[in-house]
C-alpha cells in the first residue's frame, strides 16, 4: 500500500479552510491583546487531526455505502480499492484518538486559570466534534445523508472554530465575535454546497439527501448566493459595531474572488463546472480570514 493513497485520502487541500477558523479567531483575540503561541500551535494541530479524521471517515462512510462509485473529481480511496475499508476504519480510530489527545491538551492549557467545569466543557466539545466527524457519513443515520451537513459546518467551522479559538486565547466570550464567525461559517458552507452541487445527481441516485438535492440545482445556486453575500455583510456589520482603523476594511480585497466564485457557480450546469470552484472558494475563505484578521491587528 502506497503512502500517496493515504495522503490523497487525507485531502490536505481542505486544510486551508479548516485553518481559516483558527487564524480568524486568534487574530480577533490578538487584536484585543490576547495571544499565546502554544495555544495557537495546539489549535492548529487539533484542527489538523479533526480535518484528517473527517476526511477519512467521509471516505470510509461513503465507500462502504457505495456513494462514491461514480463521483466527479478526485477519486476516493475506499471506493477505488486503494485502501480497504478495514484499514480506513483503523485510520479513523487512530485520528479519533489523536484528535482527543491534542484537543484535551489544548483545553487544559488554554483554560488552566478557569474553573475545571470550563475545561471539562471544552474536552466534551472536542468529543462531540469527533462524533460529528464520524457520523457525517458513517452509520445508518448518518446526518450528512439527511441535509444536516450545512448546520454541522456552521457549528464547527464557524462557532467552534472561530469563537472557540477566540475564547481559548482570551478566556472571554464577546457576542460580537459571532458575526465574523458566522461569516466564516457561511463561506465554509459555501464550499460544501459547491461539493453538493457537483455531486447532486450521484447523491440523488444514492438517496443522499443533501440540501442541494432537496432544493434542486437552481435552489442551491440561490442558496449559494445568500451564503456568500451574507458572509460579507456580517463582516461589514462587525466592523461597524467594533470600529477600528482604516485597515479593518482590508478584507475588501477578498470580495472580488468571492463574487467571481458566485458568478461561476450560477453559470455552472455540469458536475465538472463546480469542481474547480471548491478550491477557489476554500482559498478565498483563507484569504478573507487572513485579511480580516490582519485588518483588526493593524
| Structure confidence by residue, pLDDT tens digits, 262-284 | 999 999 999 999 999 999 999 99
pTM of the shown model = 0.91
Torsion from C-alpha of 18, 24, 25, 29, nearest 10 degrees: 160
Answer yes or no: is 156 within a domain: yes
Q: Is 263 part of any domain?
A: yes
Same domain? 122 vs 228: no
Residues 157 and 70 placed together within one structural domain of the fold: no
**Domain total of the chain:** 2
Shared-domain flag, residues 178 and 291: yes
H helices present in the chain, as ranges: 3-10, 15-31, 37-65, 77-80, 85-110, 116-135, 149-153, 164-170, 178-198, 200-205, 211-241, 255-267, 271-297
Q: Which residues contact 14 (CB under 8 A, 6 or more apart)?
A: 51, 55, 282
Give the domain-ending residue among 141, 165, 190: 141
* 43, 22 Cβ separation under 8 angstroms: yes
- The verdict on 94 and 202 lying in the same domain is no
Determine the pLDDT at residue 182.
Answer: 97
- The grid coordinates of residue 40 equal 495557537
For the ranges 16-20, 66-70, 145-149, 226-230, which has the lowest average pLDDT?
Answer: 66-70
Asked if 32 and 176 touch (Cβ cutoff 8 Å), the reply is no
Provide the domain limits for residue 106: 33-141
Residues 104 and 246 in one domain: no
Residue 67 pLDDT grade (very low, low, confident, very high; cuts 50, 70, 90): low
Are residues 173 and 256 both part of a single domain? yes
User: Span 54-63, mean pLDDT?
Assistant: 88
Both 121 and 256 in one domain: the answer is no
- Domain end call among 108, 124, 141: 141
Which residues, other chains included, contact 192 with Cβ-Cβ below 8 Å and sequence gap of 6+? 149, 150, 153
Say yes or no: 153 and 297 in one domain: yes
pLDDT, tens digit, for every residue of 239-250? 999 988 889 999
User: Is a pLDDT exceeding 60 seen at residue 68?
Assistant: no
Residue linked to cell 490582519: 294
User: Residue 142 pLDDT more than 90?
Assistant: no
Give the three-state DSSP class for 268: coil
288 and 173 within one domain: yes
pLDDT at 233: 96
Span 62-73, mean pLDDT? 64
Question: How confident is the model over 181-213, as pLDDT tens digits?
Answer: 999 999 999 999 999 999 999 899 888 899 999
Compute the half-sphere exposure of residue 180: CA atoms within 13 Å on the CB side of its CA: 37
CATH code, domain with 276: 1.20.120
220 and 174 part of one domain: yes
- Which positions ≥6 away from 70 have C-beta within 8 Å? 202
Is there a single domain that holds both residue 259 and residue 220?
yes
- Predicted confidence at residue 71, as pLDDT, reads 53
Q: What pLDDT band is residue 72 in, cutting at 50, 70 and 90?
A: low
Last-in-domain residue among 141, 172, 191 = 141
Statement to judge: residues 153 and 298 lie in one domain: yes
Residues in the chain: 298
294, part of any domain = yes
Q: Cβ-count burial of 158 within 10 angstroms (0-12 exposed, 13-18 middle, 19+ buried)? A: buried
Orientation angle between helical segments 255-267 and 211-241, nearest 10 degrees: 160
Amino acid at each position: 500500500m502506497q503512502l500517496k493513497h493515504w495522503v490523497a485520502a487525507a485531502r490536505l487541500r481542505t486544510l486551508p479552510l479548516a485553518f481559516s477558523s483558527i487564524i480568524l479567531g486568534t487574530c480577533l483575540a490578538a487584536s484585543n491583546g490576547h495571544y499565546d503561541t502554544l495555544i495557537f500551535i495546539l489549535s492548529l494541530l487539533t484542527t489538523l487531526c479533526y480535518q484528517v479524521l473527517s476526511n477519512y471517515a467521509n471516505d470510509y462512510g461513503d465507500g462502504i455505502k457505495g456513494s462514491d462509485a461514480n463521483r466527479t473529481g478526485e477519486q476516493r480511496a475506499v471506493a477505488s480499492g486503494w485502501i480497504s475499508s478495514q484499514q480506513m476504519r483503523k485510520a479513523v480510530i487512530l485520528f479519533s484518538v489523536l484528535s482527543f489527545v491534542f484537543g484535551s491538551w489544548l483545553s487544559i492549557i488554554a483554560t488552566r486559570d478557569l474553573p475545571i467545569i470550563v475545561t471539562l466543557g471544552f474536552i466534551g466539545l472536542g468529543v462531540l466534534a469527533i462524533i460529528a466527524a464520524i457520523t457525517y457519513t458513517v452509520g445508518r443515520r448518518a446526518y450528512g445523508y439527511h441535509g444536516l451537513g450545512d448546520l454541522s459546518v456552521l457549528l464547527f467551522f464557524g462557532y467552534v472554530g472561530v469563537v472557540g479559538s477566540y475564547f481559548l486565547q482570551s478566556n472571554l466570550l464577546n457576542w460580537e465575535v459571532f458575526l465574523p464567525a458566522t461569516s466564516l461559517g457561511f463561506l465554509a458552507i459555501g464550499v460544501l454546497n459547491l461539493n453538493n452541487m457537483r455531486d447532486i445527481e450521484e447523491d440523488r441516485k444514492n438517496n443522499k439527501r443533501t440540501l442541494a438535492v432537496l432544493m434542486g440545482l437552481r435552489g442551491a445556486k440561490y442558496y449559494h448566493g445568500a451564503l456568500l453575500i451574507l458572509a460579507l455583510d456580517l463582516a461589514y456589520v462587525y466592523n461597524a459595531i467594533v470600529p477600528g482603523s482604516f485597515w479593518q476594511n482590508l478584507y475588501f480585497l477578498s470580495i472580488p474572488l468571492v463574487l467571481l466564485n458566485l458568478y461561476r457557480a450560477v453559470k455552472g450546469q455540469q458536475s465538472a463546472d463546480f469542481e474547480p470552484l471548491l478550491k477557489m472558494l476554500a482559498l478565498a475563505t483563507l484569504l478573507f480570514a487572513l485579511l480580516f484578521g490582519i485588518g483588526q491587528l493593524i
